[in-house]
Copies of this chain bind each other. A is one copy, B any other.
Amino acid sequence: MSQRPDTAEAESLAPETLEGWYVLHDGYTLDWAKWRSMPGAERALLIDELAAWTATAGTVEQGQSACYQMLGQKSDLLWLHYRSSPAELGAVERGLRSCGVFDYLVPSFSYLSVIEASLYEATAIAHGMLARKGITPGKEGFDAAFEAELEVQRAALNQRVFRDIPAQNHICIYPMNKRRGEHVNWYDLSIDERRKLMRGHGKLGRKYVPAVTQVISGSVGLDDWEWMVDLHSDDPLLFKKLVYEMRFDPASSRYAEFGAFLVGLKLDDNALRQYLAL
C-alpha cells in the first residue's frame, strides 16, 4: 500500500469517512432449462460443490459471505461478500467461476463498494459529549479533549465498518446518489448544511434499530452510484416503512436519487440445496 496523501486541505469540503470491508454483491439467474436437462446425479454433485464453496466463502478469516434467493426476475441467487481488498473479491469471483454450477448461471447484477462510516456524525457526537461536560470550542483544553473523544468515536465506527453480515433473514439492497442538479445540488451545500441534514437522516434510521440493520457502503470511484444501501430485517414490511419514511426527510426528498431495489431471502446451506434441487 502506498502512503496516503495528506487530504487535510480539502477536509473543509469533503466529509472524512472511515472504510472497512470491501463488498461485492454478485447476482445470477439460473438457466433452469439447461439445469433440468442435466442427469440428476451430476446435478447433485454440482449442488454439493456449490454449497461447500458458499460455506467456505462464508467462513474466511478476513470477511464473510452469504447467499440469498432474490424475488422477481432480476436475479435468482445473489451472493454477498465482505473482504479486505478488491483483490480478494477478485479471487472470490474467480472462485465461483471454478464451480461447475457456473455453467448454469447467467450474470444479472453485481456491485462493488466498501463499507463506510461518515465522520459527519462522529464529529457531532464528540461535540455534544464535550458540551455536556461544559467543554466548548474556544475553551482551554477543548482541542485535546475533542481529539480524544473523536478517537473513541472512531474506534466504535471501526468496529462497525468491519462488522459481520447481519443475521436477519430478509435483505433489501439499492444504490443511491446525492443529487447534483442544476438547482438542487448536494455538493454545493456548505458542510454545515450537509451535516445538519445527515443528522436528521441518521436519527430516522436509528428509529428502526434493531429491527432493521443498515449497512452503508460507499462506491464513489468504484461503481456507478455513490452508495449502496443494504437493509437487513426479519420483517420485510419494514423495508417499505423505513424507505418511505425517509423519502419525506429533506436529505432524501430533495437530495437523494435511487436506483433499482432488490429484495431477497437469506438461504442457509439447507435452503440453498433445496432451492437448486429438482
| Residues in A lying within 8 Å of B, measured CB to CB | 1-7, 9-10, 13-14, 17, 19, 24, 26, 29-30, 32-33, 36-37, 69, 71-74, 85-87, 89-90, 93-94, 97-98, 102-104, 107-112, 114, 170, 172, 174, 179-185, 187-188, 204, 207-211, 218-224, 231, 233-245, 247-250, 252-254, 259-261, 263, 265, 275, 278
Contact = CB atoms under 8 A, between A and B. Distances in A.
Given A5-B208, A72-B110, A187-B248, 20 more contacts: A2-B235, A3-B211, A4-B238, A5-B211, A5-B238, A10-B248, A13-B245, A13-B249, A14-B244, A14-B247, A17-B244, A29-B107, A73-B108, A73-B110, A181-B182, A219-B240, A222-B239, A222-B263, A224-B259, A224-B260
B94 A71 contact: no
Contact of A102 (B17, B33, B242): B33
A13 B248 contact: yes
A236 to B, nearest CB: 5
6 contacts: A2-B233, A17-B244, A94-B275, A180-B253, A183-B183, A223-B261
Nearest to A244: B220
Contacts of A102: 32-33
Contact of A242 (B103, B111, B221, B252): B221
B265 A87 contact: yes
Which secondary structure dominates chain A's binding surface? mixed
Contacts of A87: 265
A109 B242 CA distance: 26
A187 B247 contact: yes
A237 B71 contact: no
Contact of A5 (B72, B207, B249, B260): B207
A245 B10 contact: yes
Contacts of A108: 73
